[in-house]
Structure 1
């Protein structure tokens, strides 16, 4: 409990440097923050220690109300990246809207252009341990992403996504009120 009080105090000290920092939110000791003037944090956001968060080239990060971000999470943006309200992101997760080009042979990847694609995590989403949410991913409401999944693409509301590359394995059926397995069509 005492450490959370320190995290709350840290949030108050860091708040003026963010584009917005809603309260009561708290921030565990980060490892790296860059361009946080373009980071907008809602109310009751809990960020645990060892966050790496960075914006570049005018990119923005919007973390809506009541989001929990666990330890060792890396979030990077050069465009618009949104994390919807009431979402939970477990540890060791990577979220980005940036892809690096690699097509110029003999040229270091970091010297090639970047491609930016909107990335959006819907409200009430659950992102499992070690997942990678890649550029251009759009998750609908209450999506569940399995541990260590690599996610790219658009996914509808109320689905369970797992694997590398990730695919939908369950969807919520509003008529039966049951999460139903998806069978592959061949």
Structure 2
């Protein structure tokens, strides 16, 4: 059909125009404009990645190291998501990132009360990694930590500590409330320490 031929042509032109500006630009990448990207040459996109409307992604280089932002195959980044990388942010394959999620491996310095925070620069947090197959809920914040495979991070959660594989975490600060139990092939509640509540 004519519609599909036009869409395929636009996809090919889009790839040829944008790919040279990125570190890696996979096949069938879908970017919905408007979108803001800083430091595209440090940005590595796998095949079938989708960046939705209004996303803002910044990879900021300093003189000490080259940062690297990776988004794996089939991952979807929601509308108005905000990702800032100064060291290393690695988002796995087939990750679902909802609208207005904020992900960062750095924060704003604030320790000098005589100066505006705007003028104090940034400080580094831990590296960020989000495991394959995870789902990050709407308005969640992920700061300098690692999230395992097939995790669910609830809407409006603030994650500042590592979350292991196969967990559900909610709240601010986020805590684990449910984990996958392989012996029973079920998702079971946890206590405040993240251990199974009924063991």
Compute the TM-score of the two structures, normalised by the length of structure 2: 0.85
Listed one character per residue, the Cα deviations across residues 19-62 of structure 1 (whole Å, up to 9, x for unaligned) are 11100211111331111110000011111111101111232210
Question: Are the equivalent residues in 1 in contact too, given 2:53–2:80 (CA < 8 A)?
Answer: yes
Runs of 4+ with >6 A deviation: none
Alignment partners' CA distance in 1, 2:80 and 2:172: 21
| SS, match of residue 14 in structure 1 | helix
Which consecutive residues of structure 2, in runs of 5 or more, have no partner in the other structure? 194-199
| Deviation for aligned residue 1:11 | 4.5
Q: Does 1:130 align with 2:145?
A: no
Question: Residues 65-85 of structure 1, C-alpha deviation per residue, up to 9 Å, x if partnerless?
Answer: 110111111111000000011
CA deviations over 1:96-141 (Å, ceiling 9, x no partner)? 101222111121112224222201111111000111111x210011
Is residue 70 from structure 1 mapped to residue 78 from structure 2 by the alignment? yes
The equivalent of 2:111 in structure 1 is 103
Q: Which runs of 5+ in 1 are unaligned?
A: none
> How many residue pairs were aligned?
183
Contact 2:175 2:192 in 1 (8 A): no
**C-alpha RMSD of matched pairs (Å):** 1.9
The answer for the alignment partner of 1:47 in structure 2 is 51
What's the counterpart of residue 114 of structure 1?
A: 122
What is the distance in 1 between the residues matched to 2:34 and 2:26?
17
2:95 matches 1:87: yes
Distance 1:173 1:63 in 2: 28
User: More strand by proportion, 1 or 2?
Assistant: 1
The separation in 2 between residues aligned to 1:11 and 1:137, in whole angstroms, is 32
- Separation in 1 of the partners of 2:140 and 2:15? 26
What's the secondary structure of 1:99's corresponding residue? Answer: strand
1:181 and 2:185 correspond: no
The equivalent of 1:148 in structure 2 is 156
